[in-house]
Structure 1
Amino acid sequence: MSQEQPKRPQDPIKYGDVLPVSGDLAQKPIAPEDAALMQSAESRILGHTQPGGVASVMQSAATRNEQAGIVGHGDITDVTGERGVSVTETQVPGQRIITESVGGQVVGQFVEPTPVQSGKTGVVRESALTIGEALEATAHTVGDKPVEQSDAAAIQAAEVRATGSNVISPGGLASMAQSAAAYNADCPSEEEKIKLGDVLSGATAKLPADKAATRQDAAGVASAEMRNNPDATAIPGGVAASVAAAARLNENVTNVM
């Protein structure tokens, strides 16, 4: 009678396995928050996620790593968290050069044709992630988490900083989040609770205004989230974590016009 052999633990998919990187980054497993940030960066410049591109590769690897229990749904690689991801666009007559980087290392580059515009050459624009895009990244990383008061407070703080107004718009993100938190507090069924993904999907379009995330924005959102959390901590992969990751990325962004 044959016995089933125990399954060997699955090896993590590391950056060095799928992308041309070296050093410490090459040995790091690709995490879900890394992939979410690259998806937002690609969408910012390209208008969509490039099929078969860097973000797509990272998402596939992160999903497999999560399924294998190697990384958590809200995890971010320390190198990526510190140095960020970026997508840059260099325009020259008749084409634009797209360069994608992770942790300061170039991992992809391709050329797209563009209409020729006289008098404008050598324009470089780099992706600065907005608060709205950071909220959308939260929907990717912890979208299945029921909305709690700490989440609602963080979303409200993010909306205030994105719009520059303390007035909470009826039907806006903050209003939706507060209603969801109140509903969930009295809802006995976990399945029926309103999730963060329900509120934050398409967050950029739901905001009346938006802005690039800064360290000050991240600090304000984190303070609101922790003040309203009984444990006085930020949620891994949550609203504060996503805004902080976007702010760190933006510190490395330089616009040359």
Structure 2
Amino acid sequence: MGIDDGATADANRPPPATIAGALNSASQSLVGSKPLEASDARAIQSAEARATGIPAGVKGGVGAAAQHAVDKGEPVTVGDVLRVSISLFVLFAAKSAEQRNNPDSVVSPGGVAASMQSAADHNKAAGYA
């Protein structure tokens, strides 16, 4: 097999599925307009644990927020929660990768993760998330 053969084979494959893509699809489907229920909160907690590698979930994360909304009977939809979770998963991944690949295990001020945090803070303040 030549170098060009490998490139052609990759070009013919569909792109890999991503967590953000799966969440986005679910948020835009009929399920997205469904009121959030306990089973949805548990599914979100499970997805968050798998995506982050933290078995108990992220303290104050999307799964915890979903469970809190269910416990309080807040009128939110599955789509509401999933749209917020997309941004948080991407932000968490950026922070983790930057920290993991830094010799001092820190996130650099003004780096990729800090810039993404700034954008997330802006979107939240503006009511987008």
> Once the 2 structures are TM-superposed, how far is the Cα of residue 170 of structure 1 from its aligned partner?
3.1
Verify: 1:205 aligned to 2:87, yes or no.
yes
Task: Report the equivalent of 2:101.
Answer: none
CA distance in 1 between partners of 2:56 and 2:37 (Å): 21
Question: 1:2-21: CA deviations, max 9, x gaps?
Answer: xxxxxxxxxxxxxxxxxxxx
Partner residue of 1:122?
A: 7
Tell whether the 8 Å contact from 2:49 to 2:58 is kept in structure 1 after alignment: no
TM value normalised by structure 1: 0.29
Q: Work out which of the two has the higher radius of gyration on C-alpha atoms and give 1 or 2.
A: 1
Native 8 Å contact 2:58 2:64 kept in 1:
yes
Which ranges in structure 1 are unaligned for 5 or more consecutive residues? 1-91, 93-120, 188-192, 211-257
C-alpha distance after superposition, 1:197-240 (max 9, x if no partner) = 11111533211239xxxxxxxxxxxxxxxxxxxxxxxxxxxxxx
Structure-2 separation of matches of 1:158 and 1:140: 18
* Residue deviations 1:127-166 (CA, integer Å, cap 9, x gap): 1112332122111112221111000011111111111111
Distance 1:202 1:128 in 2: 22
The alignment yields a C-alpha RMSD, in angstroms, of 2.6
1:167 maps to which of 44, 51, 56: 56
Match of 1:156 in 2: 45
User: Is contact 1:136–1:203 with CA below 8 Å preserved after alignment?
Assistant: no
Q: TM-score normalized by structure 2? A: 0.54
SS of match in other structure, 1:209:
helix
1:175-254 map, 5 Å:
175-184=64-73, 193-207=75-89, 208-209=92-93
SS at match of 2:93: coil
**C-alpha distance in 2, partners of 1:174/1:154?**
8
Relative distance call for 1:203 and 1:136 in structure 2 (3 A) is: farther
Say how many residue pairs are matched: 84
For the 8 Å contact 1:144–1:195, the answer to whether it is kept is yes
Hey, what's the Cα distance between the residues in 1 that align with 2:38 and 2:84? 21
Q: Is 2:48–2:58's contact at 8 Å kept on the other side of the alignment?
A: no
Q: Supply the AA of the counterpart residue of 1:201.
A: R
* Matched residue type, 2:21: E
> Which has the larger strand fraction?
1
